[in-house]
């Protein structure tokens, strides 16, 4: 019995299809074996999945060049076939002001720049996609109802942490990245976003009014 050919990429599959086309016009010879069909299906489905992922990243308009490049590399890898087909791990969780508390009970770091630009508010529902290569991709899927408040920007002289102070000395913690982005200084008026009708320790920065 001859050695079984290992079809490890799309070129091998195309080569087999060409060889089938060149043989005599016999229906039995022109049939593609089940193994080849399954392999072709895997390649096409995985390529489709990675192309859709790249399109989703572009539509968010917040994708970094590295994220998009990584996604396109996966499309190329899938089109070549070979190796284990990559799968992503997806889970949902709640933003606590700094991190996402996942449905598995674990805490996942949310990049401060992403949280600031997206103006995430404590209580927002996020979806986290963990790629096979370890990349983390967040998407806001369930924003909590918000309210805007005008407060005063205050910085702790000891820790350097930033706070928004409102009526009755109510304080909300702020991400340093958000304050830095708006070039805030102690004493500035600051417009924040906080969960409507519920208490929270954190707030998102909407804008800063320079004093």
Per-residue pLDDT, 60: 63
Report the Cα 25 to chain-centroid distance in Å.
51
pTM for this predicted structure: 0.59
Q: Select the highest-mean-pLDDT range: 20-29, 65-74, 184-193, 202-211.
A: 184-193
**Of 2-6, 49-53, 93-97, highest mean pLDDT:** 93-97
- Which residues is 209 bridged to in the sheet? 189
DSSP one-letter code for 169: G
**Residue-wise over 73-92: b if at least 16 C-beta within 10 A, else e?**
ebbebbeebbeeeeebeeee
Position 53 pLDDT exceeds 90: no
**Angle subtended at Cα 118 by Cα 149 and Cα 98, rounded to the nearest 5 degrees:** 80
In the sheet with 89-95, reading across from the earlier edge strand, the strands are 107-109, 99-102, 89-95, 125-130, 136-142
pLDDT of 174: 98
pLDDT tens for each residue of 100-149: 999 999 999 999 999 999 999 999 999 999 988 888 999 999 999 999 99
Q: What is the pLDDT of residue 133?
A: 82
Are 204 and 119 contacting, i.e. CB atoms less than 8 angstroms apart? yes
The pLDDT of residue 211: 73
Bridge partners of 153? 164
Distance CA(23)–CA(20), nearest Å, equals 6
Q: ∠ at Cα 123 (122, 125), nearest 5°?
A: 120
Cα 107 to Cα 23, 24, 95: the distances in Å are 59, 62, 10
More confident: 165 or 14:
165
Check residue 91 and give its pLDDT: 93
Is the model's pLDDT at 158 over the cut of 80? yes
DSSP labels for 11-41?
HHHHHHHHHHHHS-S-TTTTPPPHHHHHHHH
CB-based contact 193:121 (threshold 8 Å): yes
Kindly indicate the confidence band of residue 166, based on its pLDDT and cuts at 50, 70 and 90.
very high
């Amino acid at each position: 019995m001859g050695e079984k050919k290992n079809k490890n990429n799309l070129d091998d599959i195309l080569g087999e299809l060409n060889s089938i086309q060149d043989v005599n016009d016999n229906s039995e010879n022109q049939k593609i074996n089940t193994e080849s069909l399954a392999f072709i299906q895997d390649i096409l489905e995985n390529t489709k999945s990675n192309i859709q992922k790249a399109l989703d990243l572009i539509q968010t308009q917040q994708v970094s060049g590295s994220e998009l490049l990584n996604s396109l590399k996966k499309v190329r890898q899938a089109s070549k076939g070979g190796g284990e087909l990559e799968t992503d791990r997806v889970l949902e969780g709640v933003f606590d002001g700094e991190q996402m508390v996942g449905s598995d009970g674990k805490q996942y770091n949310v990049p401060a720049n992403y949280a600031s630009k997206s103006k995430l508010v404590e209580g927002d529902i996020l979806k986290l996609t963990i790629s096979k290569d370890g990349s983390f991709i967040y998407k806001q899927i369930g924003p909590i109802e918000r309210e805007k408040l005008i407060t005063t920007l205050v910085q702790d002289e000891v820790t350097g942490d930033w706070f928004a102070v409102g009526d009755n000395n109510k304080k909300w913690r702020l991400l340093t990245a958000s304050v830095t982005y708006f070039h805030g200084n102690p004493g500035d008026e600051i417009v924040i976003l906080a969960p409507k009708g519920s208490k929270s320790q954190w707030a998102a920065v909407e804008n800063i009014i320079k004093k």
